[in-house]
Structure 1
Amino acid sequence: MKALVVDDSALMRRQIGEILTRGGFDVTTARTGAEALLRIAEDKPDVVTLDINMPEMDGLTCLSRIMSETPLPVVMISSLTEQGALATLEAIALGAVDYVHKPEGTVSVAIKEQEDLIIGKVKAAAGARIRRSTGLRERMAAKRETIMRKTYIPRARNSGYGSGNEALTLIGASTGGPAVLEEILSSLTADYPMPVLVCQHMPATVTRHFSERLNNYCAMPVVELRRQTVLEPSTIYVARGDADMVVMERNGELMATIAPSDKRYNWHPSVSRMVSTAMDTVTADSLIGVLLTGMGDDGAAELAKLHRAGGYVFAESEESCVVYGMPRSLVESGCVNEVITASQIAARLERVANTRMHAIKTAMKA
């Protein structure tokens, strides 16, 4: 496979190039965004790593040109600063498949320490499906204008158990997930009847900005979960990065909190841990699970267990996945109710959630 490394730093070009060469790539390099566009036209690489901060043509401008002229998988290289986090989200919105963050300090040493991560992400990106969300940005902008005109009336808070609040929707995603989550969550109605818990593999520097971005587009309020919180219906909770979301019951109320990342799990925030703790706290028939695009198998075994116990489980189909890893693991287990494209998930979630909530309330009255 061919990889193009784009960075204005000769040291970074050399180090990333050497890492990818050891990973089996045929590597070429470019110093500027303009040079990268020429290299892409001439060499036709399978994947590009692209620095965000470059002179003359910055990485975001270059990415925009790539995605409009010759779409191909791109992995962004950005810093962990506030500005870097915002640029990372913008890059994902423009079509980047994934990103690698350069820690502050001795960057060259840090890059070497991330060799396995870089090779894994670039290899996954090279085989990724480039998502074409035609008109998504325009639809979301129009939706945001509608949302901003609404007057919200806060719900009266119920005690968790015995009120129907014990039902949850659990969503897990990794590579390619942010764009899919924007599409799905922005399509849910303001009165979606359950709390929605989201684990997207991201560092803590990014999840706050990601939550704020989602909040601009979604009819439901979106918050980043950073502390022990009572879960309310019609609210979306995004797990803080570099930690795990844990569901619990306290004093008769359903809650979630953020716990330090558990080394027993390979990815964080851990979908597996979120689902496991939800199943320990809430009956399976009150849970809906959704597994979206991503590398690896985070959450697949636990969602299969949830399905066997009576929960309702969705997997994103290969057709719309950027990386068909996590959903594939779930589908191959045979423990899934529906395998559908990302564009179909929101409508199906609404129907299943309302049906399950009706069943819960009926059972409570009996």
Structure 2
Amino acid sequence: MPGERIRLLVVDDSALMRKHLRQIFEAEGDIDLAFARNGREALEQAETFHPDVITLDVNMPELDGLSCLERLVASGCKARVVMVSSLTEAGAEVTLRALELGAVDFVPKPDGTVSLSIDRISGLLASKVRAAACARPRRVLGLRDRIRAQRHEVERRSMAGATGMAAMRAGISGLVLVGVSTGGPRTLEEILPELPATFPWPVVVAQHMPTSFTGVFARRMDSICALDVAEVDGALPLLPGRIYIGRGDADVVVQRRLNRLIVASVLPDDSLWHPSADRLVTSALEVMPAALLIGVLLTGMGNDGATAMTDLRRRGGHTVAEAESSAVVFGMPADLIRQGGAELVLPADAVARQLIAWSHQSR
């Protein structure tokens, strides 16, 4: 909603947090504010204030953030929800569940001295609220999706051993590089479980996330994907038919060591977002021919990955940009399209089929 005022409901049980958040958002100049101290007050405010965006604390008395979100979704509330979550494993589990329920994004809850911590993330808070105001919420996963996930899990457990050995003998015939940010967990849950256990290429994912979230997310994806999924913490051999999730707050790169391809977690560069999709793609181009690479740029604000994937396309590799019709935030894929680097523009539910088709062509 460029040029329009944003109606923001801030839900937090801490009076000090509400005070600091009021100062941050009032300084923006185009945000109308309302406040709630817990989930029950938030439900009442949602009916009367009609917010465009809700920032929702996870831990609150009377009605916690997750329970509040479930009721907001059930009531048909159209507001985009940004969760405010602690950077702990438990916080990550709750946040990923909230994203599955329909929240569009999350921000880290300040720890330590609130006044100092909130200043460090004030710019991030404002930018995420603005992105959420324009975001396209994804549908909540239903029964059909859960049955499909269970089917893939059975397939993975029955076939992974034999498939993995055959793939290791066959070697790497291609590599998929995925860049994704806001809205990514839900989008990846729609794409990666559709890759069969026989998919022959490795998939490396640069999902913008904090360190405490990516391990939890990798385990969650491993439970619903036919392929094995692992967080990249250190260096791992790049093996066919596996999915690698870059560790949060670091960068993930492809390297060649002792004539073997590996995927490694390295110190972040000076980019704004991490793991950096641009750095991932650039590193792969340094050690593999572009013709063996596929770049996939999915939902997210900003432009991370667009420049490197445009270079990949110009060198002869394949690229896919997520279509605006399915992207929660059409920033990163839009920039790839604008630069002329998108070979195909596809909705999220068509991406896996295209990856499978390209892998068959390579054979």
| C-alpha deviation, 1:142, in angstroms | 3.0
2:33 counterpart SS class: strand
Q: 1:286 to 1:151 in 2, by over 3 A?
A: closer
Which residue among 4, 9, 14 is the counterpart of 1:9? Answer: 14
The structure 1 segments of at least 4 consecutive aligned residues displaced by more than 4 Å after TM superposition are 157-160
Q: How far apart, in 1, do the equivalents of 2:131 and 2:159 lie?
A: 43
Which residue among 10, 27, 30 is the counterpart of 1:22? Answer: 27
Instruction: Output one character per residue of 1:137-181: Cα deviation in whole Å (capped at 9) or x when no partner.
Output: 524543355346625325338889xx5415210011000011000
Number of residues paired by the alignment? 354
Letter in 2 for 1:156: M
Which residue among 265, 271, 281 is the counterpart of 1:275? Answer: 281
2:194 counterpart SS class: coil
1:226 — aligned with what?
Answer: 233
Q: 1:38 to 1:137 in 2, by over 3 A?
A: farther
Q: How far apart, in 2, do the equivalents of 1:139 and 1:317 lie?
A: 26
1:175 counterpart SS class: coil
Q: Which runs of 5+ in 2 are unaligned?
A: 1-5
1:146 — aligned with what?
Answer: 154
1:363 — aligned with what?
Answer: none
Which residue among 146, 156, 168 is the counterpart of 2:165? Answer: 156
TM-score by length of 2: 0.93
Q: How far apart, in 2, do the equivalents of 1:277 and 1:306 lie?
A: 11
Residues 215 and 221, structure 1, Cα contact 8 Å, conserved in 2: yes
Which residue among 314, 318, 321 is the counterpart of 1:312? Answer: 318
Instruction: Output one character per residue of 1:1-49: Cα deviation in whole Å (capped at 9) or x when no partner.
Output: 1100001111111211221121231111011111111111111111000
What are the equivalent positions in structure 2 for 1:1-366 lying under 5 Å apart? 1-23=6-28, 24-69=30-75, 70-135=77-142, 137-144=145-152, 146-147=154-155, 150=158, 152-154=160-162, 155-156=164-165, 164-165=171-172, 167-263=174-270, 265-356=271-362, 358=363
| C-alpha deviation, 1:134, in angstroms | 4.8
Q: Which runs of 5+ in 1 are unaligned?
A: 359-366
Instruction: Output one character per residue of 1:236-282: Cα deviation in whole Å (capped at 9) or x when no partner.
Output: 0000000001111112211111110001x221000000000000110
Work out the percentage of aligned pairs sharing the same amino acid. Answer: 45
2:279 counterpart SS class: helix
Instruction: Output one character per residue of 1:94-124: Cα deviation in whole Å (capped at 9) or x when no partner.
Output: 1111111124322332012211110001110
Instruction: Output one character per residue of 1:177-196: Cα deviation in whole Å (capped at 9) or x when no partner.
Output: 11000110011101111000
Letter in 2 for 1:183: E
Q: 1:81 to 1:134 in 2, by over 3 A?
A: closer
1:361 — aligned with what?
Answer: none
Q: How far apart, in 1, do the equivalents of 2:308 and 2:197 lie?
A: 29
TM-score by length of 1: 0.93
1:80 counterpart SS class: coil
1:254 counterpart SS class: strand
RMSD: 1.7
Q: How far apart, in 1, do the equivalents of 2:295 and 2:147 lie?
A: 26
